Structure formats: C-alpha cells, structure tokens
Amino acid sequence: MRFTEIKRKKSLNSKISNTYGLDPDKLPVHIAIIMDGNGRWAKKKLLNRIKGHEKGADTVRMVVRTCREIGISVLTLYAFSTENWERPKTEVAALMMLLKKFLISEKKEMTDNNIRLNVIGQKKRLPADVQEEIQRAMNATCVNDGMLLNLALSYGSRAEILRAVRRIAADVKDGLQDIGHISEDNFASHLYTAGMPDPELLIRTSGEMRISNFLLWQIAYSEIHITQTLWPDFTKEELIRILNDFQSRERRFGRVLEE
C-alpha cells in the first residue's frame, strides 16, 4: 500500500463506534499525539522517571489498539524528539531499550491486527540495534493496510522542513524542478509524511500549551485537544471523550459555513 492510498477506514467492528457514541463517518482519519507527562507521573509516585516511561509504553499499546479498533487510518505518536537527545544518557538509553522491547513485542500484534509500522525522523541517529528492529517490524508489516502507525523518533519538525528545502533546492539545481512549480503539495511530498493525510486531531497530554517542534507544517488545520492527564494515566475512556468532542466541533478551514 502506498501512503497515497490512505483513506477513511471502517472500524473493526461496525457496532463499535455506536457503542462509543461516535459517528464512524466523522472520525478523524489521522490522529497525532504528543505523549507528555511520564516524568511527572513518576515523580508524583516517588518513582524513577524511567518507571514513568515504562507505564507510558503500556498507554501506547492501549491507544494503538483502540485507534485500530474504532477505525482510525493513521496514528502518529511523538515518541522521541531531536531535543530528547539532550536528556541524561541513562534516560536516553532506557527510552531506546523500551522502544526496542516495544518493537519486538508488538510485531505480532501489529501483524495480527493489520497495522503497518512506519518511522518518521532521523532514523540513522538511533542505535544500530533499534534501527534493526525498526527495519524488521517495518518489513513484517509493510503489506498491512488496516492502520498506519507512525512513530516519530529523533523527530524534529524544523529539521524535517529543512530536509525538504534541501531536497527541493537540489532538484532545482539539477534542473528537475522549476521554481515556479513548487506548490504546497509538492513541498509536502518531500516531508516524512509524504502522501499521508494531515492530522485532523492533535492531542497533547499533561496540560502543556506547546507544539514542541511537532508536525509544524502538517497541523496547519488540525483541531487541538490538550488534556491535563499525564500520559501514563491516559485511558481509553478519555480518548473516546476527546473523539466525541472532536465530532462536535465545527471545522471551517478559514471559510464561512453556508446557512
């Protein structure tokens, strides 16, 4: 499946959206999530920050399962930013270990549930063993078309935009691209998310009112939902409530809706 073929999915169980009070035709095709608050969750419980990330990984599993169940086509999770490399070495190592464990343990679940894994970000900066597991999981799931799970790893939106600019500039230099023909669609086709629909809903946990260098181009028209809940405490019920809220919003894209 090419990413350009991504469309609205049917939920696994046609009654499921009704059970949750959701209109299946108004579900966001693409949800992006800034998973924040693992450290504060651990601190509140007088635990090491790593414990917060471990509990956060359980929430990731639940959210992936739920999104697949209700028929979301693309889920993008901000798992590790370019800025996160600046964290203490022990925390970075623990996050990489968790990621590797996740990729190994979830490969079967993704295969069984028709989920395709993709990574956006500077894959080459990741440790070699993590890169290998990413490749294995991506290969094992590449024909799946039930849901696309994008893990943003060593991801930074400004770096992504610069990368696109460099690629377009190189094409212009080589005579492959005419400056007058650089369009929004053409620009977007040089981003990691090439061919994917933009996120219609951006969720951030833990109450911070920031975008933190995440999908700056792609979220131009996303609905934003910020919840105070810390990521390890985020539940399926809250995700469903957020989706209900999303469905009640009027999306105008800068236009005036006709009477």
Residues involved in catalysis:
36, 84
Q: Is 60 in the site for ligand FPP (CB under 6 A)?
A: yes
By beta-carbon distance, which residue lies closest to ligand FPP?
39
Are the beta carbons of 115 and 149 closer than 8 angstroms? Answer: yes
Q: Is 79 in the site for ligand FPP (CB under 6 A)?
A: yes
Question: What token pair was written down for 228?
Answer: 């105070």
Are the beta carbons of 100 and 126 closer than 8 angstroms? Answer: no
Q: Is 117 in the site for ligand FPP (CB under 6 A)?
A: no
- Cβ neighbours, 10 Å, residue 109: 13
Torsion over CA of 179, 180, 181 and 184, rounded to 10 degrees? 90
Identify the DSSP state of 11. P
Name the residue nearer to ligand FPP (CB basis): 137 or 191: 137
Query: Least distance in Å: CB of 7 to ligand FPP?
Result: 25
Characterize 131-164 residue by residue with b for buried, 16 or more Cβ atoms within 10 angstroms of its Cβ, and e for exposed.
bebbeebbebbeebebbbbbbbbbbbbeebeeeb
Instruction: Judge residue 190's burial from the number of C-beta atoms within 10 Å of its C-beta, 0-12 exposed, 13-18 middle, 19 or more buried.
Output: middle
User: Taking CA 91 as the corner, what is the angle to CA 232 and CA 38, rounded to the nearest 5 degrees?
Assistant: 15
Name the residue nearer to ligand FPP (CB basis): 37 or 199: 37
Name the residue nearer to ligand FPP (CB basis): 44 or 251: 44
Q: Is 56 in the site for ligand FPP (CB under 6 A)?
A: yes
Q: Is 40 in the site for ligand FPP (CB under 6 A)?
A: yes
Q: Is 213 in the site for ligand FPP (CB under 6 A)?
A: no
Query: Least distance in Å: CB of 156 to ligand FPP?
Result: 13
Name the residue nearer to ligand FPP (CB basis): 153 or 168: 153
Q: Is 53 in the site for ligand FPP (CB under 6 A)?
A: yes
Q: Is 36 in the site for ligand FPP (CB under 6 A)?
A: yes
Name the residue nearer to ligand FPP (CB basis): 108 or 251: 108
Query: What is the distance between the alpha carbons of residues 185 and 196, in angstroms, rounded to a whole number?
Result: 11
Are the beta carbons of 68 and 147 closer than 8 angstroms? Answer: yes
Query: Least distance in Å: CB of 219 to ligand FPP?
Result: 18
Q: Is 239 in the site for ligand FPP (CB under 6 A)?
A: no
Q: Which of 3, 48, 69, 84 binds ligand FPP (CB under 6 A)?
A: 84
Q: Is 156 in the site for ligand FPP (CB under 6 A)?
A: no
Are the beta carbons of 70 and 16 closer than 8 angstroms? Answer: yes
Q: Which of 99, 119, 126, 147 binds ligand FPP (CB under 6 A)?
A: 99
Q: Which residues bind ligand FPP (CB under 6 A)?
A: 35-40, 53, 56-57, 60, 79, 84, 98-99, 102, 151, 206, 231
